[in-house]
Amino acid sequence: MTTAENQKPNRHNRARPVKGVDWLHNPVFNKGTAFTAAERDALGLRGLLPPHISTMEEQVLRVMTNFRNKPNDLERYVQIADLQDRNETLFYRVVMDNLEELMPVIYTPTVGRACQEYGSIFRRSRGIYISSKDAGQIDAILHNWPTRDVKVIVVTDGERILGLGDLGASGMGIPVGKLSLYTACAGIHPTQCLPITIDVGTNNATLLNNPLYTGLRQERIRGAEYDALIEEFMVAVEKRFPGVLVQFEDFGNQNAFRLLEKYRGRACTFNDDIQGTGAVALAGILSALRITGGKLRDQRVLLLGAGEAGMGIAGNIVNVLVEEGLTPAEACQRCWFVDSKGLIVKGRDHLNEHKLPYAHEHAPCADLLFAIKSIKPTMLVGASGQAKSFTQEIIKAMGEFNQRPVIFALSNPTSKAECTAEEAYTWTEGRAVFASGSPFAPVTINGRTLVPGQGNNAYIFPGVGLGVVCTGARRVTDAMFIKAARALASLIRESELAEGRVYPTLQRIHEVSHAIAVAVAEEVFAEKLNSQPRPADLPGYIRSQMFKPEYPDYCKT
Cβ atoms < 10 Å from Cβ of 192: 24
3-state SS string for 327-341 = CHHHHHCCEEEEECC
**Rounded Cα distance, 269 and 249, in Å:** 11
Planar angle of CA 97, 102, 104, nearest 5 degrees: 145
383 touches 411 (CB < 8 A): yes
Q: What share of the chain is helix, strand, coil (3-state, %, to 5)?
A: 50, 10, 40
Would you call the peptide bond into 51 cis, given omega within 30 degrees of 0 as the criterion? no
**Rounded Cα distance, 211 and 214, in Å:** 8
Which residue in 77, 118, 151, 178 is the catalytic one? 178
**Rounded Cα distance, 248 and 243, in Å:** 15
**Rounded Cα distance, 227 and 220, in Å:** 12
**Rounded Cα distance, 498 and 500, in Å:** 5
Planar angle of CA 219, 224, 229, nearest 5 degrees: 75
Annotated active-site residue 239? The verdict is: no
Annotated active-site residue 107? The verdict is: yes
Identify the CA nearest to 126 among candidates 114, 108, 109, 140. Answer: 114
Identify the CA nearest to 277 among candidates 297, 255, 298, 256. Answer: 256
**Rounded Cα distance, 282 and 272, in Å:** 14
- Read off the amino acid at residue 230: I
- One DSSP character per residue, 474-535 reads S---HHHHHHHHHHHHHT--HHHHHTT-SS--GGGHHHHHHHHHHHHHHHHHHTT--SSPPP
**Rounded Cα distance, 244 and 142, in Å:** 13
Q: State CA 179 to chain mean position distance.
A: 9
**Rounded Cα distance, 411 and 413, in Å:** 6
290 touches 492 (CB < 8 A): yes
**Rounded Cα distance, 529 and 106, in Å:** 33
Cβ atoms < 10 Å from Cβ of 15: 10
**Rounded Cα distance, 488 and 240, in Å:** 34
Which residue in 92, 107, 459, 541 is the catalytic one? 107
335-339 and 342-343 strand pairing: antiparallel
Task: Supply the DSSP symbol for 360.
Answer: B
Give the active site residues.
107, 178
